[in-house]
Structure 1
Amino acid sequence: MTNSLRLRLVLLLFLAGGLTLGTAVYFTHNAARQELDALFDAQLAESAHVLLGTARREIAERIEHGTDEMPVAHEYEQTLVYQIWDVHGLIVRSATAPQTPLGDGTPGYTQAKINAKPWRVLTRWDPQHEFMIEIAEPLAGREHLARLIALKMLFPTLAIIPLLALLTWLAVGTGLRPLRQLRREVVQRSAERLEPLAIKNVPREVMPLVTALNDLFGRLKQSIEADKRFTADAAHELRTPLAALKTQAQVAMRASESTDRETALQHVLEGVDRATHLIEQLLTLARVDPEMASVHYQPLSLRHLTAEALGMIEPLARQKHIELALEKSDEAIINGDAGPLAILLRNLLDNAVRYTPAGGQVSVTVSHHPGQGVVLEVCDTGPGIPEEERVRTLERFYRIPGSGVQGSGLGLSIVQRIAARHKARLVLHAGSNGLGLCVKVIFPEHPPGLMRQPRI
């Protein structure tokens, strides 16, 4: 029950209601106390006025009887004490009044301690300024009456708490009905149903949740469709090299001459190399999408990443006697993820080396153009790509007819995906003098001051 949203809402509502009720009782008590103070102060003033009006006659009677105490006439007077003074001292006092002064003699209302308890004292002189009366009342009675008034207001409210709790529970349940409807709709869906949830009549508070779910469904749908396309394409692309391997193996088995057998086996080895490269590219492509979905951008040195990629591809270039050169390398900082960017660089360089004939050249430049961006350019002296074919080379598994190179058709597709996720543009153009191919990746400029020390 502690994880029940309904219970939490009810408890929070009751907590808020309790605080509101407590505050109301507090202010009601204070207001009642102020009203009672005004009322009882007026009664003190009236009592003082009456006593002063009869002071001369009462004083004469007390002197005649030889006492300074006056009898209690009413039960209300049991809560009052008073003293009448003249210039010579105490003349008359009530039966319960002490011999000492009740107040400090200051005219008007004051607070005093009598028998260690707080009292309200009124001091007045008669019009002739012959007699002074001090009349006092204990404050405990006022406080008791104010508390009684507040409690009488509180008790009816407390009596309806059970009914209020039931109504609140039902009201919260009604308010949470859209969540229950949303739950039913999601539970009733099959794994294949990834269309967006209906947003009609969805409460504003639930709309962010529905929007987030719809975004999730959309991403899942795209991911599943991409996986299906990838599986279909991979099966199609692997079918041809595997069939060729089988054919060459059968030729080797049937060959009667050792030369024919060796030739067939050599074709098998070449086919295995091509299939291995294709599988590696397929695995790279399969890994790129999940990595790009959770990409962690940070400032990176493109010069350092390029140098690392050149070091990895150098053995392949040396094997083909290809000159690999880093012609220009500015200190260029980009915002990106090191893992996918390393894949981008390896594929660019691998493509360039594979399509460049022995003895050719592959050149790399990293340049920073303030206000425009950071440019990575890889140029080769290979056969190049006709202008009308350049857009299609970015499609998966597309190979240029008659290129003479057994590639997977995935390299530039992988580069395009990673570049797009880094908000970079991919430009293909002919090399100098129209020879070879140059692939240019233009990254947006890293915002200055975001991070002084790039990760290298």
Structure 2
Amino acid sequence: MRLPALHSMQLRLLAYLSAGVALVWLAAAAWTWVDARHELDELLDSHLAQAAALLVVQQSHVDDDENEEEEAPVLHKYAPRVAFQVFHEGVLVARSGNAGLTPMSRETRGFDTVTLDNGDRWRVFATRGSRRDIQVYVGEQLDSRDGILRAVLRGMLLPSMLALPLLAALMWWAVRKAMAPLDALGHSLRSRAPDSTAPLPRDSLPTEMRPMVDELNALLRRIEGMVASERRFTADAAHELRTPIAAIRTQAQVAMGAVDDADERRHALQNTLAGCDRAARLVDQLLTLARLDAPASAAASGRTDLSALARSVAADMAPQALARGQDLELQAPQQCPVTIDEVLPRVLLRNLLDNASRYAGDGARIAVSVAVVRGWVQLTVQDSGPGLSPAEMARLGERFFRVLGTAQTGSGLGWSIVRRIAQATGAQVEVTHSASLGGLQVQVSWRMAEPA
């Protein structure tokens, strides 16, 4: 039969302790039984030997002419359980009332366990006198030994058996007392407000519970950071989306008012489409950033050749560069495998190339290179644009941060996406001044993948 599962820690602990105490008690009782039985046999056997020696000494002083059989009187209630026989020159000269006329044992010396005709089992000690004409047998019923053993064990084990329920009650009290801090912690968690992220107190807790509370506090801090990030992100996104939506509304009103001027209406509609494109781009970037903020994005794995990826992304971005008269160069001569899923580095490189194309200016040079340097795969994007100041480089990656003084539209989320992808994939990002082209240089490094 399968025992029911114990879902309570208190019941489990109490059951384990009770079972352990019961097993230890049974083992101790068995050991006490065996040891007491052995010691009792040793003690009573010594009494038999001592009684036999006394009979031998007594019979040695008896006159040789006195060979008449004598029967010892019964002086104690347990006397029928002890018997003796004394033979002189093969003739029974003395015996107890419960001893027969034939020798109690076939042995002439030492201990022997025999079963008499009436079915009783006896422990018999046999010995001879100094002149070897005297044979003495002293016996004791084995049932009397068992009775003595039961009486001794009853006096030893019965109190402990009666104490077991009291011990179980004390264990229940001790377990409940020891588990009280855990119950208090559960009550504290149940009574907290749903949006509370305050740390749990730990100073008054037992040592065993402090690591668990520390982990709970760390989890609460992470949740607090995530909630604050989500609130800030929602507020910033709402603020940033308000601008293109307002621009679209304004251009739509202009188009509605330009009834007679077709050129003005066409210009307003073109601006409306541009505002829609800007809003769509902003929404795409917000969705990408939201996916990167999810914990599952950091677990992306796979195997990607960055050289092939760079060629693919550069081909996709070539029409945008050609439209602005820009020179897009690519150097990716060899395979450069990394242990990353293809989606994330593709988004990263597309954002870097888009920023370079938008802010480097018309007719600028944009260079992309992929190479392996001391076990690292380095992806480098540099341009011949005006570049950034050290203060502006330090702020790259802040959400909705844009460099002032540029004519390009944008949301300031591209670099946030680059930073988050680098963090999620374990990449190192370095932003410096391009020594060869004079503009901005961005270098992203990943550990090279092991050979397949």
TM-score of Structure 1 vs Structure 2, range by shorter chain: 0.7 to 0.9
State the alpha-carbon separation in 2 of the partners of residues 354 and 250 from structure 1.
29
State the alpha-carbon separation in 1 of the partners of residues 248 and 62 from structure 2.
136
Answer with 434-443 or 386-395: which moved more.
Answer: 434-443
| Inter-CA distance 444–86: structure 2 relative to 1 (3 Å threshold) | farther
Deviations 1:67-108 (A, max 9, x none): xx9678465454345666789799988755696873665x54
**Letter of the 2:399 counterpart:** R
Answer with 209-218 or 18-27: which moved more.
Answer: 18-27
**Letter of the 1:34 counterpart:** H
Offset of 1:326 from its aligned partner? 4.5
Whether 2:308 is the aligned partner of 1:304: answer: no
Match of 2:372 in 1: 367
Match of 1:153 in 2: 156
Question: Residue 324 of structure 1 contacts residue 363 of structure 1 at CA under 8 Å; is this kept in 2?
Answer: yes
Task: Report the secondary structure of 1:433's partner residue.
Answer: coil
Question: Residue 306 of structure 2 contacts residue 335 of structure 2 at CA under 8 Å; is this kept in 1?
Answer: no
| Inter-CA distance 137–407: structure 2 relative to 1 (3 Å threshold) | farther
Match of 2:387 among 385, 388, 400: 385
Offset of 1:297 from its aligned partner? 7.5
Answer with 88-97 or 392-401: which moved more.
Answer: 88-97
Matches within 5 A, 1:406-421: 406-421=409-424
Whether 2:391 is the aligned partner of 1:397: answer: no
Whether 2:219 is the aligned partner of 1:212: answer: no
Q: Unaligned 5+ residue runs, structure 2? A: none
Question: Residue 120 of structure 1 contacts residue 137 of structure 1 at CA under 8 Å; is this kept in 2?
Answer: yes
Offset of 1:253 from its aligned partner? 1.5
Question: Residue 317 of structure 2 contacts residue 353 of structure 2 at CA under 8 Å; is this kept in 1?
Answer: no
Deviations 1:137-159 (A, max 9, x none): 45454344334322333322333
Question: Residue 332 of structure 1 contacts residue 366 of structure 1 at CA under 8 Å; is this kept in 2?
Answer: no
| Inter-CA distance 117–224: structure 2 relative to 1 (3 Å threshold) | farther
Matches within 5 A, 1:22-421: 22-55=26-59, 64=68, 73=74, 76-80=78-82, 102=105, 107-109=109-111, 120-255=123-258, 256-291=260-295, 295-296=298-299, 301=303, 303-304=304-305, 307-308=308-309, 310-311=311-312, 314-318=315-319, 320-321=321-322, 323=328, 325-329=330-334, 331=336, 333=338, 340=344, 343-352=347-356, 354-355=358-359, 357=362, 360-370=365-375, 374-381=376-383, 383=385, 385-388=387-390, 389-421=392-424
Question: Residue 244 of structure 1 contacts residue 271 of structure 1 at CA under 8 Å; is this kept in 2?
Answer: yes
Deviations 1:143-198 (A, max 9, x none): 44334322333322333444444443333333222223323332332233212112
Whether 2:433 is the aligned partner of 1:425: answer: no
- Indicate the RMSD between aligned Cα atoms, in angstroms: 3.9
TM-score normalised per structure 2: 0.80
State the alpha-carbon separation in 1 of the partners of residues 257 and 407 from structure 2.
28
**Letter of the 1:364 counterpart:** S
Question: Residue 87 of structure 1 contacts residue 130 of structure 1 at CA under 8 Å; is this kept in 2?
Answer: yes
State the alpha-carbon separation in 2 of the partners of residues 78 and 164 from structure 1.
43
State the alpha-carbon separation in 2 of the partners of residues 126 and 453 from structure 1.
98
Match of 1:18 in 2: 22
Task: Report the secondary structure of 1:364's partner residue.
Answer: strand
Question: Residue 118 of structure 1 contacts residue 139 of structure 1 at CA under 8 Å; is this kept in 2?
Answer: yes
State the alpha-carbon separation in 2 of the partners of residues 352 and 86 from structure 1.
129
Deviations 1:299-352 (A, max 9, x none): x54x52563465356323345446463425455555x67765554444334444
Offset of 1:274 from its aligned partner? 1.4
Task: Report the secondary structure of 2:305's partner residue.
Answer: helix
Question: Residue 306 of structure 1 contacts residue 345 of structure 1 at CA under 8 Å; is this kept in 2?
Answer: no
Offset of 1:226 from its aligned partner? 0.4
State the alpha-carbon separation in 1 of the partners of residues 25 and 300 from structure 2.
53
Offset of 1:419 from its aligned partner? 2.4
| Inter-CA distance 52–375: structure 2 relative to 1 (3 Å threshold) | same
Question: Residue 112 of structure 1 contacts residue 121 of structure 1 at CA under 8 Å; is this kept in 2?
Answer: yes
Match of 1:449 in 2: none
Deviations 1:195-224 (A, max 9, x none): 211222111122122112211110111011
| Inter-CA distance 310–410: structure 2 relative to 1 (3 Å threshold) | farther
Deviations 1:1-24 (A, max 9, x none): 942333333323322322332233
Q: Unaligned 5+ residue runs, structure 1? A: 447-451
State the alpha-carbon separation in 2 of the partners of residues 395 and 411 from structure 1.
10
**Letter of the 1:179 counterpart:** L
Task: Report the secondary structure of 1:413's partner residue.
Answer: helix
State the alpha-carbon separation in 2 of the partners of residues 98 and 198 from structure 1.
89
Question: Residue 353 of structure 2 contacts residue 381 of structure 2 at CA under 8 Å; is this kept in 1?
Answer: no
Question: Residue 317 of structure 1 contacts residue 324 of structure 1 at CA under 8 Å; is this kept in 2?
Answer: no
Question: Residue 102 of structure 1 contacts residue 136 of structure 1 at CA under 8 Å; is this kept in 2?
Answer: no
| Inter-CA distance 135–201: structure 2 relative to 1 (3 Å threshold) | same
**Letter of the 1:363 counterpart:** V
State the alpha-carbon separation in 1 of the partners of residues 30 and 223 from structure 2.
57
State the alpha-carbon separation in 2 of the partners of residues 271 and 188 from structure 1.
49
Q: Identity percentage over the alignment?
A: 33
Paired residues, number: 438
